[in-house]
Protein backbone atom coordinates (compact mmCIF):
# COMPACT_ATOMS: atom_id res chain seq x y z
CA UNK A 1 0.00 0.00 0.00
CA UNK A 2 1.38 3.41 -1.00
CA UNK A 3 2.03 5.63 2.00
CA UNK A 4 0.26 8.95 2.38
CA UNK A 5 3.68 10.64 2.71
CA UNK A 6 4.67 9.35 -0.73
CA UNK A 7 1.36 10.37 -2.29
CA UNK A 8 1.66 13.91 -0.91
CA UNK A 9 5.23 14.25 -2.14
CA UNK A 10 4.31 13.01 -5.62
CA UNK A 11 1.46 15.51 -5.84
CA UNK A 12 3.48 18.37 -4.35
CA UNK A 13 6.16 18.10 -7.02
CA UNK A 14 3.58 19.07 -9.64
CA UNK A 15 2.74 22.35 -7.93
CA UNK A 16 5.73 23.29 -5.74
CA UNK A 17 9.35 23.37 -7.05
CA UNK A 18 10.96 20.20 -5.73
CA UNK A 19 7.77 19.49 -3.81
CA UNK A 20 8.94 21.64 -0.88
CA UNK A 21 8.88 25.28 0.20
CA UNK A 22 12.45 25.30 1.53
CA UNK A 23 15.26 23.26 -0.07
CA UNK A 24 16.60 21.31 2.92
CA UNK A 25 13.16 19.76 3.46
CA UNK A 26 13.52 17.83 0.21
CA UNK A 27 15.90 15.23 1.73
CA UNK A 28 18.31 15.78 -1.19
CA UNK A 29 21.25 15.70 1.22
CA UNK A 30 20.31 12.41 2.86
CA UNK A 31 18.37 10.72 0.04
CA UNK A 32 14.85 9.41 0.08
CA UNK A 33 11.61 11.34 0.31
CA UNK A 34 10.58 13.99 2.84
CA UNK A 35 8.17 13.28 5.66
CA UNK A 36 4.91 15.25 5.69
CA UNK A 37 3.75 16.16 9.19
CA UNK A 38 0.22 16.66 10.46
CA UNK A 39 0.47 17.63 14.11
CA UNK A 40 2.86 18.08 17.00
CA UNK A 41 2.64 17.99 20.77
CA UNK A 42 5.49 18.49 23.24
CA UNK A 43 8.61 16.65 22.09
CA UNK A 44 6.74 14.66 19.43
CA UNK A 45 5.10 15.03 16.06
CA UNK A 46 3.15 12.71 13.77
CA UNK A 47 3.44 12.25 10.02
CA UNK A 48 0.76 11.84 7.37
CA UNK A 49 0.77 8.07 7.94
CA UNK A 50 0.22 8.52 11.67
CA UNK A 51 3.76 7.53 12.70
CA UNK A 52 5.12 9.22 15.82
CA UNK A 53 8.62 10.74 16.02
CA UNK A 54 10.74 12.35 18.73
CA UNK A 55 11.55 15.73 17.21
CA UNK A 56 15.10 17.08 17.42
CA UNK A 57 14.59 19.71 14.74
CA UNK A 58 11.90 21.82 16.42
CA UNK A 59 11.00 23.63 13.19
CA UNK A 60 14.75 24.39 12.86
CA UNK A 61 15.01 25.98 16.29
CA UNK A 62 11.96 28.07 17.24
CA UNK A 63 10.16 25.45 19.33
CA UNK A 64 12.21 25.79 22.50
CA UNK A 65 9.02 24.99 24.47
CA UNK A 66 8.10 22.05 22.26
CA UNK A 67 5.14 21.74 19.91
CA UNK A 68 1.86 23.47 20.75
CA UNK A 69 2.76 24.67 24.24
CA UNK A 70 -0.61 25.42 25.92
CA UNK A 71 0.36 28.95 27.01
CA UNK A 72 1.60 29.88 23.54
CA UNK A 73 -1.49 28.42 21.87
CA UNK A 74 -3.72 30.31 24.30
CA UNK A 75 -1.92 33.60 23.56
CA UNK A 76 -2.29 33.06 19.81
CA UNK A 77 -5.99 32.23 20.13
CA UNK A 78 -6.59 35.38 22.13
CA UNK A 79 -4.75 37.51 19.57
CA UNK A 80 -6.61 35.98 16.63
CA UNK A 81 -9.94 36.91 18.19
CA UNK A 82 -8.91 40.56 18.07
CA UNK A 83 -7.85 40.49 14.42
CA UNK A 84 -5.22 38.88 12.22
CA UNK A 85 -3.31 41.97 11.12
CA UNK A 86 -3.61 45.75 11.22
CA UNK A 87 -0.61 47.13 9.33
CA UNK A 88 -0.43 49.69 12.11
CA UNK A 89 1.27 49.97 15.53
CA UNK A 90 0.05 47.87 18.47
CA UNK A 91 0.82 47.94 22.19
CA UNK A 92 2.12 44.37 21.97
CA UNK A 93 4.86 45.50 19.56
CA UNK A 94 6.04 47.97 22.18
CA UNK A 95 5.95 45.31 24.88
CA UNK A 96 8.12 42.84 22.97
CA UNK A 97 10.52 45.60 21.90
CA UNK A 98 10.94 46.67 25.53
CA UNK A 99 11.52 43.05 26.57
CA UNK A 100 14.18 42.43 23.90
CA UNK A 101 16.00 45.65 24.81
CA UNK A 102 15.90 44.73 28.51
CA UNK A 103 17.27 41.24 27.96
CA UNK A 104 20.02 42.29 25.54
CA UNK A 105 22.04 45.34 26.65
CA UNK A 106 23.59 45.71 23.17
CA UNK A 107 20.15 46.52 21.75
CA UNK A 108 18.96 50.06 22.42
CA UNK A 109 16.37 50.05 19.66
CA UNK A 110 14.80 47.21 17.72
CA UNK A 111 12.62 46.75 14.65
CA UNK A 112 10.40 43.74 14.03
CA UNK A 113 10.29 41.91 10.68
CA UNK A 114 8.80 38.64 9.47
CA UNK A 115 11.80 36.41 8.68
CA UNK A 116 15.46 35.85 9.40
CA UNK A 117 16.28 36.71 5.81
CA UNK A 118 14.63 40.10 6.26
CA UNK A 119 16.63 40.67 9.42
CA UNK A 120 19.87 39.65 7.68
CA UNK A 121 19.42 41.82 4.62
CA UNK A 122 18.31 44.75 6.78
CA UNK A 123 21.35 44.76 9.07
CA UNK A 124 23.68 44.66 6.04
CA UNK A 125 21.90 47.58 4.38
CA UNK A 126 21.85 49.48 7.66
CA UNK A 127 25.56 48.92 8.30
CA UNK A 128 26.38 50.13 4.80
CA UNK A 129 24.14 53.15 5.18
CA UNK A 130 25.62 54.05 8.57
CA UNK A 131 29.26 53.71 7.50
CA UNK A 132 29.00 54.85 3.89
CA UNK A 133 31.04 51.78 2.92
CA UNK A 134 30.23 48.84 0.63
CA UNK A 135 32.36 45.83 1.56
CA UNK A 136 31.31 43.21 4.11
CA UNK A 137 33.03 40.19 5.62
CA UNK A 138 31.18 36.92 6.13
CA UNK A 139 32.42 33.42 6.92
CA UNK A 140 32.36 30.24 4.87
CA UNK A 141 29.56 27.96 6.05
CA UNK A 142 27.64 30.68 7.88
CA UNK A 143 24.17 31.36 6.48
CA UNK A 144 22.38 34.67 6.95
CA UNK A 145 19.33 34.30 4.73
CA UNK A 146 18.93 34.32 0.98
CA UNK A 147 19.78 37.96 0.32
CA UNK A 148 21.99 38.47 -2.75
CA UNK A 149 24.91 39.92 -0.78
CA UNK A 150 24.98 36.89 1.51
CA UNK A 151 24.57 34.03 -0.97
CA UNK A 152 28.29 34.00 -1.53
CA UNK A 153 30.91 31.26 -1.26
CA UNK A 154 34.65 31.64 -0.78
CA UNK A 155 36.76 32.86 -3.67
CA UNK A 156 39.63 30.92 -5.17
CA UNK A 157 42.24 32.36 -2.83
CA UNK A 158 42.52 33.02 0.87
CA UNK A 159 41.91 36.72 0.34
CA UNK A 160 39.67 37.13 -2.69
CA UNK A 161 36.15 38.41 -2.95
CA UNK A 162 33.41 35.80 -2.94
CA UNK A 163 31.63 34.21 -5.85
CA UNK A 164 27.85 33.83 -6.14
CA UNK A 165 26.62 30.56 -4.64
CA UNK A 166 23.25 30.86 -6.35
CA UNK A 167 22.14 31.53 -9.90
CA UNK A 168 20.54 34.93 -10.16
CA UNK A 169 23.08 36.68 -7.94
CA UNK A 170 25.13 39.14 -10.02
CA UNK A 171 28.90 38.74 -9.75
CA UNK A 172 29.22 42.46 -9.04
CA UNK A 173 26.96 42.06 -6.00
CA UNK A 174 28.98 39.14 -4.67
CA UNK A 175 32.09 41.17 -5.41
CA UNK A 176 31.41 43.37 -2.38
CA UNK A 177 31.56 40.37 -0.03
CA UNK A 178 34.80 38.99 1.39
CA UNK A 179 34.40 35.36 2.47
CA UNK A 180 36.81 34.07 5.14
CA UNK A 181 37.22 30.95 7.25
CA UNK A 182 35.25 30.78 10.49
CA UNK A 183 37.57 30.80 13.53
CA UNK A 184 40.54 32.07 11.45
CA UNK A 185 41.27 35.42 13.03
CA UNK A 186 44.54 35.78 11.06
CA UNK A 187 42.50 35.87 7.86
CA UNK A 188 40.29 38.61 9.29
CA UNK A 189 43.32 40.65 10.35
CA UNK A 190 44.77 40.35 6.85
CA UNK A 191 41.47 41.47 5.29
CA UNK A 192 41.33 44.53 7.53
CA UNK A 193 44.97 45.33 6.76
CA UNK A 194 44.11 45.32 3.07
CA UNK A 195 40.62 46.89 3.00
CA UNK A 196 40.00 48.16 6.54
CA UNK A 197 38.49 51.56 5.74
CA UNK A 198 36.27 50.06 3.03
CA UNK A 199 34.68 47.38 5.23
CA UNK A 200 31.20 48.35 6.41
CA UNK A 201 30.58 45.28 8.57
CA UNK A 202 31.55 41.85 9.72
CA UNK A 203 28.56 39.51 9.99
CA UNK A 204 28.93 36.25 11.87
CA UNK A 205 26.92 33.52 13.52
CA UNK A 206 28.56 33.67 16.99
CA UNK A 207 27.89 29.95 17.18
CA UNK A 208 27.64 28.58 13.65
CA UNK A 209 24.59 26.39 13.13
CA UNK A 210 24.29 26.14 9.37
CA UNK A 211 27.33 23.94 8.74
CA UNK A 212 26.42 21.75 11.72
CA UNK A 213 27.21 23.21 15.16
CA UNK A 214 30.60 24.92 15.20
CA UNK A 215 31.68 26.72 18.37
CA UNK A 216 33.84 29.86 18.25
CA UNK A 217 37.43 29.50 19.41
CA UNK A 218 38.28 31.26 22.66
CA UNK A 219 39.60 34.50 21.12
CA UNK A 220 37.68 34.62 17.84
CA UNK A 221 34.65 36.77 18.71
CA UNK A 222 36.62 39.09 20.97
CA UNK A 223 39.15 39.85 18.26
CA UNK A 224 36.35 40.48 15.75
CA UNK A 225 35.02 43.08 18.19
CA UNK A 226 38.43 44.71 18.52
CA UNK A 227 39.09 44.80 14.78
CA UNK A 228 35.68 46.31 14.02
CA UNK A 229 36.13 48.98 16.68
CA UNK A 230 39.63 49.87 15.44
CA UNK A 231 38.47 50.20 11.84
CA UNK A 232 35.08 51.86 12.35
CA UNK A 233 33.25 48.81 11.01
CA UNK A 234 29.97 47.44 12.34
CA UNK A 235 30.05 44.07 14.12
CA UNK A 236 26.87 42.13 13.38
CA UNK A 237 25.87 39.03 15.30
CA UNK A 238 23.41 36.86 13.42
CA UNK A 239 21.53 35.36 16.35
CA UNK A 240 18.56 34.15 14.31
CA UNK A 241 19.46 30.65 15.46
CA UNK A 242 21.35 31.24 18.71
CA UNK A 243 19.07 34.01 19.99
CA UNK A 244 17.44 32.83 23.25
CA UNK A 245 18.54 29.30 22.27
CA UNK A 246 21.93 29.14 23.95
CA UNK A 247 20.90 31.27 26.92
CA UNK A 248 18.60 34.06 28.08
CA UNK A 249 21.12 36.69 26.97
CA UNK A 250 21.83 34.82 23.71
CA UNK A 251 25.33 34.05 22.44
CA UNK A 252 26.47 37.61 23.03
CA UNK A 253 25.77 37.21 26.72
CA UNK A 254 27.27 33.74 26.83
CA UNK A 255 30.56 34.96 25.34
CA UNK A 256 30.42 38.48 26.81
CA UNK A 257 30.77 40.27 23.47
CA UNK A 258 28.72 43.36 22.60
CA UNK A 259 27.89 43.57 18.88
CA UNK A 260 26.77 46.79 17.21
CA UNK A 261 23.80 45.14 15.51
CA UNK A 262 21.99 41.85 16.12
CA UNK A 263 19.67 39.88 13.85
CA UNK A 264 17.17 37.63 15.66
CA UNK A 265 14.48 35.16 14.70
CA UNK A 266 13.13 31.69 15.41
CA UNK A 267 12.65 31.59 19.23
CA UNK A 268 11.43 35.19 19.41
CA UNK A 269 8.46 34.21 17.24
CA UNK A 270 7.57 31.16 19.28
CA UNK A 271 6.91 29.18 16.09
CA UNK A 272 5.23 32.00 14.16
CA UNK A 273 6.89 33.96 11.31
CA UNK A 274 8.66 36.75 13.18
CA UNK A 275 12.20 38.09 13.40
CA UNK A 276 13.88 41.31 14.47
CA UNK A 277 17.05 43.34 14.27
CA UNK A 278 18.39 45.92 16.67
CA UNK A 279 21.44 47.56 18.12
CA UNK A 280 23.06 50.86 18.94
CA UNK A 281 20.66 53.79 18.89
CA UNK A 282 22.82 55.93 16.60
CA UNK A 283 22.84 53.15 14.00
CA UNK A 284 19.17 52.24 14.32
CA UNK A 285 18.14 55.87 13.89
CA UNK A 286 19.54 55.78 10.37
CA UNK A 287 16.39 53.81 9.48
CA UNK A 288 13.41 55.46 7.79
CA UNK A 289 11.39 57.41 8.83
CA UNK A 290 14.22 58.99 10.86
CA UNK A 291 17.08 58.40 8.45
CA UNK A 292 17.96 57.55 4.84
CA UNK A 293 18.10 53.73 5.10
CA UNK A 294 14.80 52.33 3.87
CA UNK A 295 13.23 49.21 5.35
CA UNK A 296 9.56 48.31 5.54
CA UNK A 297 7.17 45.38 5.87
CA UNK A 298 3.38 45.14 5.70
CA UNK A 299 3.24 42.27 8.20
CA UNK A 300 6.10 43.42 10.41
CA UNK A 301 5.00 43.16 14.04
CA UNK A 302 2.03 40.99 13.11
CA UNK A 303 -0.09 40.81 16.30
CA UNK A 304 -0.56 37.03 16.18
CA UNK A 305 3.17 36.40 15.75
CA UNK A 306 4.00 38.92 18.47
CA UNK A 307 1.58 37.18 20.84
CA UNK A 308 3.34 33.85 20.29
CA UNK A 309 6.74 35.48 20.73
CA UNK A 310 5.80 37.29 23.91
CA UNK A 311 4.35 34.16 25.48
CA UNK A 312 7.52 32.25 24.63
CA UNK A 313 9.91 34.93 25.89
CA UNK A 314 8.04 35.14 29.18
CA UNK A 315 8.15 31.37 29.75
CA UNK A 316 11.88 31.02 29.09
CA UNK A 317 12.65 33.49 31.88
CA UNK A 318 11.59 30.97 34.53
CA UNK A 319 14.59 30.43 36.88
CA UNK A 320 16.55 27.32 35.98
CA UNK A 321 15.01 27.01 32.51
CA UNK A 322 18.30 27.21 30.63
CA UNK A 323 20.26 25.10 33.10
CA UNK A 324 17.79 22.28 32.60
CA UNK A 325 17.72 22.74 28.82
CA UNK A 326 21.52 22.71 28.58
CA UNK A 327 21.76 19.64 30.82
CA UNK A 328 19.23 17.73 28.73
CA UNK A 329 21.03 18.62 25.52
CA UNK A 330 24.37 17.57 26.98
CA UNK A 331 22.88 14.28 28.15
CA UNK A 332 21.59 13.67 24.62
CA UNK A 333 24.94 14.12 22.89
CA UNK A 334 26.88 12.28 25.59
CA UNK A 335 24.50 9.32 25.39
CA UNK A 336 24.68 8.99 21.61
CA UNK A 337 28.47 9.42 21.66
CA UNK A 338 28.80 6.74 24.33
CA UNK A 339 26.79 4.29 22.21
CA UNK A 340 29.01 4.97 19.19
CA UNK A 341 32.22 4.62 21.21
CA UNK A 342 31.04 1.31 22.67
CA UNK A 343 30.93 -0.11 19.15
CA UNK A 344 34.13 1.49 17.88
CA UNK A 345 32.52 4.02 15.53
CA UNK A 346 34.25 7.31 14.67
CA UNK A 347 31.70 9.71 16.11
CA UNK A 348 31.70 12.78 18.34
CA UNK A 349 29.20 15.40 19.45
CA UNK A 350 28.90 18.67 21.33
CA UNK A 351 26.20 20.99 22.63
CA UNK A 352 25.81 24.64 23.54
CA UNK A 353 22.65 25.53 25.43
CA UNK A 354 19.75 23.94 23.60
CA UNK A 355 21.72 23.36 20.36
CA UNK A 356 23.79 20.34 19.42
CA UNK A 357 25.98 18.91 16.69
CA UNK A 358 26.58 15.29 15.67
CA UNK A 359 29.70 14.45 13.63
CA UNK A 360 30.91 11.19 12.13
CA UNK A 361 34.48 12.16 12.78
CA UNK A 362 37.24 11.44 15.31
CA UNK A 363 37.39 15.08 16.39
CA UNK A 364 34.89 17.92 16.69
CA UNK A 365 35.27 20.23 13.66
CA UNK A 366 36.08 23.92 14.09
CA UNK A 367 35.67 25.15 10.50
CA UNK A 368 33.76 24.58 7.28
CA UNK A 369 36.70 22.65 5.79
CA UNK A 370 36.78 20.30 8.79
CA UNK A 371 33.02 19.79 8.62
CA UNK A 372 33.37 18.76 5.00
CA UNK A 373 35.85 16.05 6.06
CA UNK A 374 33.22 14.33 8.24
CA UNK A 375 31.73 11.08 6.93
CA UNK A 376 28.55 12.29 5.24
CA UNK A 377 27.58 8.80 4.05
CA UNK A 378 27.72 7.54 7.63
CA UNK A 379 25.48 10.38 8.78
CA UNK A 380 22.95 9.65 6.04
CA UNK A 381 22.87 6.00 7.06
CA UNK A 382 22.41 7.00 10.72
CA UNK A 383 19.69 9.52 9.84
CA UNK A 384 17.53 6.99 7.99
CA UNK A 385 18.04 4.30 10.61
CA UNK A 386 17.00 6.68 13.39
CA UNK A 387 14.06 7.87 11.30
CA UNK A 388 12.91 4.27 11.03
CA UNK A 389 13.13 4.04 14.83
CA UNK A 390 10.93 7.13 15.22
CA UNK A 391 13.68 9.68 15.97
CA UNK A 392 13.78 12.73 13.69
CA UNK A 393 17.07 14.60 13.25
CA UNK A 394 17.74 17.30 10.66
CA UNK A 395 17.87 15.72 7.18
CA UNK A 396 21.39 16.99 6.56
CA UNK A 397 24.86 16.41 7.98
CA UNK A 398 25.35 20.17 7.89
CA UNK A 399 22.62 21.36 10.24
CA UNK A 400 22.57 21.80 14.02
CA UNK A 401 19.93 20.04 16.10
CA UNK A 402 17.68 21.36 18.86
CA UNK A 403 16.26 20.15 22.16
CA UNK A 404 13.13 21.59 23.77
CA UNK A 405 12.07 21.90 27.39
CA UNK A 406 9.65 19.03 26.72
CA UNK A 407 12.39 16.49 26.05
CA UNK A 408 12.74 14.44 29.22
CA UNK A 409 14.16 11.15 30.42
CA UNK A 410 11.63 9.14 28.43
CA UNK A 411 12.56 10.78 25.14
CA UNK A 412 16.30 10.62 25.81
CA UNK A 413 16.18 6.97 26.81
CA UNK A 414 14.21 6.08 23.68
CA UNK A 415 16.82 7.92 21.61
CA UNK A 416 19.70 6.15 23.34
CA UNK A 417 18.04 2.76 22.80
CA UNK A 418 17.58 3.49 19.10
CA UNK A 419 21.20 4.64 18.72
CA UNK A 420 22.49 1.56 20.58
CA UNK A 421 20.47 -0.73 18.31
CA UNK A 422 21.78 0.98 15.18
CA UNK A 423 25.43 1.15 16.22
CA UNK A 424 25.38 -2.47 17.41
CA UNK A 425 24.43 -3.55 13.89
CA UNK A 426 26.58 -0.94 12.15
Check if 342 is active-site. Answer: no
Task: Give the largest Cα separation in the chain, rounded.
Answer: 66
In terms of phi and psi (left: phi > 0; alpha: psi -120 to 50; beta: otherwise), the region of 144 is alpha
The CA-to-CA distance between both ends of the chain, in Å, stands at 29
Catalytic residue among 143, 255, 322, 392: 143
Instruction: Please give the Cα distance from 58 to 185 (Å, whole number).
Output: 33
User: Which among 147, 181, 184, 238 is annotated as catalytic?
Assistant: 238
- Spatial distance between the Cα atoms of 228 and 217, rounded to a whole number of angstroms: 18
Kindly calculate the radius of gyration of the chain based on its CA atoms and give it in whole angstroms. 21
Catalytic residue flag (residue 147): no
Active site residue 74: no
Catalytic residue among 260, 266, 359, 392: 266
Q: Which residues, 6 or more positions from 16, have their beta carbon under 8 angstroms from its beta carbon?
A: none
> What are residue 238's DSSP bridge partners?
263
Provide the annotated active-site residues.
143, 238, 266
Amino acid sequence: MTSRNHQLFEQSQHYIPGGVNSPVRAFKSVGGEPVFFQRGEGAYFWDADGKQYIDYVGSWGPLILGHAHPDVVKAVQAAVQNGLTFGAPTEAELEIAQLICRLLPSIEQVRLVSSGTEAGMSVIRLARGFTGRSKIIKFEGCYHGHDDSLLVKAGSGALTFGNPSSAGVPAETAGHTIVLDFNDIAGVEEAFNKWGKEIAAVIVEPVAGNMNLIAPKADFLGKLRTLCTQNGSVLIFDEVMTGFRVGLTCAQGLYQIKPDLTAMGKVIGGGMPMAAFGGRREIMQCLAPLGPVYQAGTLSGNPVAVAAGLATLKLIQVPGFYDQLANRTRQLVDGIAAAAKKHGIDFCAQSIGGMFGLYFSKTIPTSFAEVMQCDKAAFNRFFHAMLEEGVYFAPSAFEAGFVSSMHGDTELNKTFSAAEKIFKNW
